[in-house]
């Protein structure tokens, strides 16, 4: 007989006590889900009458805890799910099944159906006819809402991908096509049914060039986004690709940038041409910012003024004399307001201090939204041109004086004849008479006046603008040309009212203008005629002087060429007189016009602004 283990009685005692404790704990454990679990639980009799429901289920259905007891389970099930539910309950009650699980709708107290996942168990000692049905209920509203939201998001994403203009591809880790949108089909010229699931490497080897392959592998291995542009010679286009790692493999956004690249190339070529034009232009070109600081200068500017680029960039132009800064700033501000200033004449200083005569064209640089970030100044050195003009004026003065010599000689011959006669008379011993001397002095004064007028034309004069009355200027010109008019049998008529407004002018230059115009009219009537000079004033035009002759006139085809250098209708003319006259009138802020018809005479009109309208040069610039 085997010996009994020494600890066996104690072990059997513990097991009996454990079963006793377990039996005592089972009811308590079974009731815990009804009070503590977040999952809805209920206990129903086989006929569907509720025995007990958890607080969480009561709250979920909108009832007070404990108020569902003795209610019917059929009352809580949605009518649409009731038939199926009763079928499963009857099977449980008949012992044909021990459990079932299904999704069904339970009714909220407010009448709203709630989606639920229900698990039901048959409970009871008699398995053929269980007394109770135990159910666990889980609310599916949150999950369904999340699924619905996810579905909506997927629809929106799909709609976005299908309507976007960029091509979108999703490639697997082996380079196979997983997804492509409509734009990708158009870009590749292939349908998605032909490509999805197949290898990009096999179907489109031109895509798997070295650059794209390295980017593809790097995106997969390192998980970093990449962007690249690549030219596809077979298709003659540029594609821009943005690769983004994703869980299946790689998302690739593709955009055809062929037109953009062409525009870039055109813009680059245009910029290169513009830079070349600026750099190799003979005129000085500078660009200023809104603070009047230099952003760019060309080589011609550096050569003209002797500065280095380091001395200029980022600074205000050092070639503007201090006394002209106010004038220049007024011009710059006008350009920043969108105005263009052309042909403004001023002076600029070289680095060595030498002053240069310059003609400036100032233009705004218009950017996006009509914003003006800077201005461009094109300057031309007209110092030599100015000297040439002055030589032309001097030459024209001498030519005028020479051509007037014939008429003046006739006027001087008469007083010389008187002087010679009285001198011979007195030498012969005639009695000295005071009246003879008075006549001789008067004749000498006349000769001196004529010679003074001639010298005034030929003598170099400083160019100084002053406010002068116009009446004496016209009177002096008429007195100077009257002898030539008499010699050519031309009737000279003048209408110069007193009280004409003064003009802001250089007196000798204006005299030269009217002498040139009157001389042209006289030379047009070698056999005599009539020349009328009239002056008038108006508030709109200022002072107007007209010279009208009854000569042969000028043909229409020649009239439009008047003022061209070296073009003349006279046999011995130089073609410079009218050109110089037009230039002088323009410098005075006026205008000169010629109206003529063949056989009907010629009328020349000179309009000069009144002195009150002509101020300092800075004001003139502002007006321009």
CA-CA distance, 25 to 41, in Å (whole number)? 19
97 pLDDT more than 80: yes
What pLDDT, on a 0 to 100 scale, did the predictor assign at position 56? Answer: 83
Higher pLDDT: 124 or 133? It is: 133
| Overall size of the chain counted in residues | 624
Residue 433: band (very low, low, confident or very high) from pLDDT cuts 50, 70, 90: low
CA-CA distance, 449 to 136, in Å (whole number)? 135
> Tokens 């000079």, residue?
533
Collapsed DSSP state (helix, strand, coil) of residue 114: strand
Six-digit token string for 256: 């055809």
pTM of the entire predicted model: 0.42
Six-digit token string for 561: 């060429």
**pLDDT tens string 133-190:** 888 888 888 888 888 888 888 888 888 888 888 888 888 888 788 888 988 888 888 8
105 pLDDT more than 60: yes
In this prediction, residues 203-207 reach a mean pLDDT of: 66
Residue 546: band (very low, low, confident or very high) from pLDDT cuts 50, 70, 90: very high
Neighbours of 318 (CB within 10 A): 13
**Segment among 150-159, 204-213, 580-589, 612-621 with least mean pLDDT:** 612-621
Q: Which 8-state DSSP code applies to residue 190? A: S
Q: Among candidates 589, 600, 468, which has minimal Cα distance to 524?
A: 600
Residue 287: band (very low, low, confident or very high) from pLDDT cuts 50, 70, 90: very high
Q: Which 8-state DSSP code applies to residue 248? A: S
Six-digit token string for 500: 């004409």
**Segment among 165-179, 304-318, 405-419 with least mean pLDDT:** 405-419
In this prediction, residues 256-282 reach a mean pLDDT of: 85
Residue 364: band (very low, low, confident or very high) from pLDDT cuts 50, 70, 90: very high
**Segment among 77-81, 199-203, 403-407, 481-485 with least mean pLDDT:** 403-407
434 pLDDT more than 80: no
Average pLDDT value over all residues in the chain: 78
In this prediction, residues 196-203 reach a mean pLDDT of: 78
Residue 305: band (very low, low, confident or very high) from pLDDT cuts 50, 70, 90: very high
CA-CA distance, 24 to 30, in Å (whole number)? 11
Collapsed DSSP state (helix, strand, coil) of residue 276: helix
Residue 368 and residue 271 in contact, taking contact as beta carbons nearer than 8 Å: no
Higher pLDDT: 126 or 212? It is: 212
Six-digit token string for 250: 């790689």
**Segment among 321-330, 400-409, 600-609 with least mean pLDDT:** 400-409
Name the pairing type of β-strands 490-495 and 466-468. Answer: unpaired
Residue 596 and residue 553 in contact, taking contact as beta carbons nearer than 8 Å: yes
Higher pLDDT: 568 or 466? It is: 466
Half-sphere exposure of residue 329, counting CA atoms within 13 Å on the CB side?
8
CA-CA distance, 470 to 510, in Å (whole number)? 9
Q: Please list the residues that pair with 504 across neighbouring strands.
A: 467
> Tokens 């250089």, residue?
506
What pLDDT, on a 0 to 100 scale, did the predictor assign at position 207? Answer: 64
Phi-psi sector, 160: left (phi>0), alpha (psi -120 to 50), beta = alpha
415 pLDDT more than 90: no
Interhelix angle for 470-487 vs 507-523, to 10°?
30
Residue 43 and residue 66 in contact, taking contact as beta carbons nearer than 8 Å: no
354 pLDDT more than 50: yes
Six-digit token string for 236: 């003659």
Q: Please list the residues that pair with 72 across neighbouring strands.
A: 49
Q: Which 8-state DSSP code applies to residue 125? A: S
Name the pairing type of β-strands 490-495 and 529-538. Answer: parallel
Neighbours of 191 (CB within 10 A): 10
Q: Among candidates 83, 73, 78, 77, which has minimal Cα distance to 52?
A: 73
What pLDDT, on a 0 to 100 scale, did the predictor assign at position 31? Answer: 58
Residue 343: band (very low, low, confident or very high) from pLDDT cuts 50, 70, 90: confident
In this prediction, residues 386-406 reach a mean pLDDT of: 63
544 pLDDT more than 80: yes
Q: Output phi, psi for 293, to 5 deg.
A: -105, 145
CA-CA distance, 543 to 537, in Å (whole number)? 4
In this prediction, residues 369-384 reach a mean pLDDT of: 87
What pLDDT, on a 0 to 100 scale, did the predictor assign at position 145? Answer: 82
Cα-based torsion angle of the residue sequence 222, 227, 232, 235 in order, rounded to the nearest 10 degrees: 120
């Amino acid at each position: 007989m085997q010996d009994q283990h020494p600890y066996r009685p104690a072990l059997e005692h513990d097991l009996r006590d454990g079963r006793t404790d377990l039996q005592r704990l089972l009811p308590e454990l079974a009731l815990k889900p009804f009070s503590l679990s977040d999952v809805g639980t209920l206990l129903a009799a086989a006929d569907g009458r509720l025995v007990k429901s958890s607080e969480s289920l009561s709250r979920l259905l909108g009832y007070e805890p404990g108020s569902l007891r003795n209610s019917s389970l059929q009352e809580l099930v949605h009518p649409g799910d009731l038939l199926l539910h009763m079928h499963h309950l009857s099977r449980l009650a008949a012992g044909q099944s021990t459990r079932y699980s299904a999704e069904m709708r339970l009714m909220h107290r407010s009448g709203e159906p709630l989606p639920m996942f229900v698990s039901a168990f048959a409970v009871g000692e008699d398995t053929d006819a269980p007394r109770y049905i135990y159910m666990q209920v889980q609310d599916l509203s949150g999950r369904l809402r999340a699924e619905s939201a996810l579905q909506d998001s997927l629809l929106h994403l799909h709609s976005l991908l299908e309507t976007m203009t960029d091509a979108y591809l999703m490639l697997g880790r082996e380079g196979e096509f997983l997804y492509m949108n409509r734009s990708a089909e158009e870009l590749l010229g292939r349908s998605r049914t032909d490509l999805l699931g197949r290898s990009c490497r096999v179907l489109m080897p031109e895509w798997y060039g070295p650059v794209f392959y390295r980017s593809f592998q790097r995106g997969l291995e390192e998980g970093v986004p990449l962007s690249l542009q690549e030219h596809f010679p077979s298709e003659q286009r540029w594609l821009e690709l943005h690769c983004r790692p994703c869980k299946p493999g790689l998302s690739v956004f593709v955009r055809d940038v062929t037109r953009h690249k062409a525009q870039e190339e055109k813009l680059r070529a245009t910029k290169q041409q513009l830079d070349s034009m600026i750099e190799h232009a003979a005129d000085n070109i500078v660009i200023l910012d809104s603070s009047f600081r230099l952003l760019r200068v060309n080589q011609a500017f550096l050569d003209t003024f002797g500065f280095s680029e380091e001395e200029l960039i980022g600074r205000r132009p050092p070639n503007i004399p201090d006394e002209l800064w106010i004038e220049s700033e007024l011009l710059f501000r006008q350009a920043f307001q969108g105005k263009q200033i052309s042909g403004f004449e001023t002076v600029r200083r070289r680095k060595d201090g030498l002053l240069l005569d310059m003609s400036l064209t100032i233009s705004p640089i218009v950017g996006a939204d009509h914003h003006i970030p800077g201005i461009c100044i094109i300057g031309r050195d007209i110092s030599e041109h100015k000297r040439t003009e002055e030589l032309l004026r001097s030459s024209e003065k001498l030519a005028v004086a020479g051509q007037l010599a014939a008429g003046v000689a006739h006027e001087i011959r008469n007083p010389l004849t008187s002087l010679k006669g009285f001198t011979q008379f007195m030498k012969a011993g005639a009695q000295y008479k005071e009246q003879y001397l008075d006549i001789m002095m008067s004749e000498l004064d006349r000769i001196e006046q004529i010679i003074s007028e001639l010298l005034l034309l030929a003598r170099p004069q400083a160019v100084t603008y002053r406010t002068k009355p116009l009446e004496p200027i016209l009177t002096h010109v008429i007195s100077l040309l009257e002898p030539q008019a008499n010699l050519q049998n031309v009737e000279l008529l003048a209408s110069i009212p007193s009280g004409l407004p003064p003009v802001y002018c250089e007196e000798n230059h204006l005299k030269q203008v009217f002498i040139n115009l009157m001389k042209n009219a006289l030379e047009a009537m070698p056999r005599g005629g009539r020349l009328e000079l009239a002056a008038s004033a108006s508030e709109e035009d200022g002072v107007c002087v007209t010279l009208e002759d009854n000569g042969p006139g000028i043909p229409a085809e020649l009239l439009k060429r008047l003022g061209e250098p070296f073009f003349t209708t006279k046999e011995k003319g130089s073609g410079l007189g009218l050109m110089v006259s037009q230039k002088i009138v323009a410098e005075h802020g006026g205008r000169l016009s010629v109206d003529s018809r063949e056989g009907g005479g010629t009328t020349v009109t000179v309009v000069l602004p009144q002195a009150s309208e002509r101020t300092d040069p800075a004001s003139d610039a502002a007006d321009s």
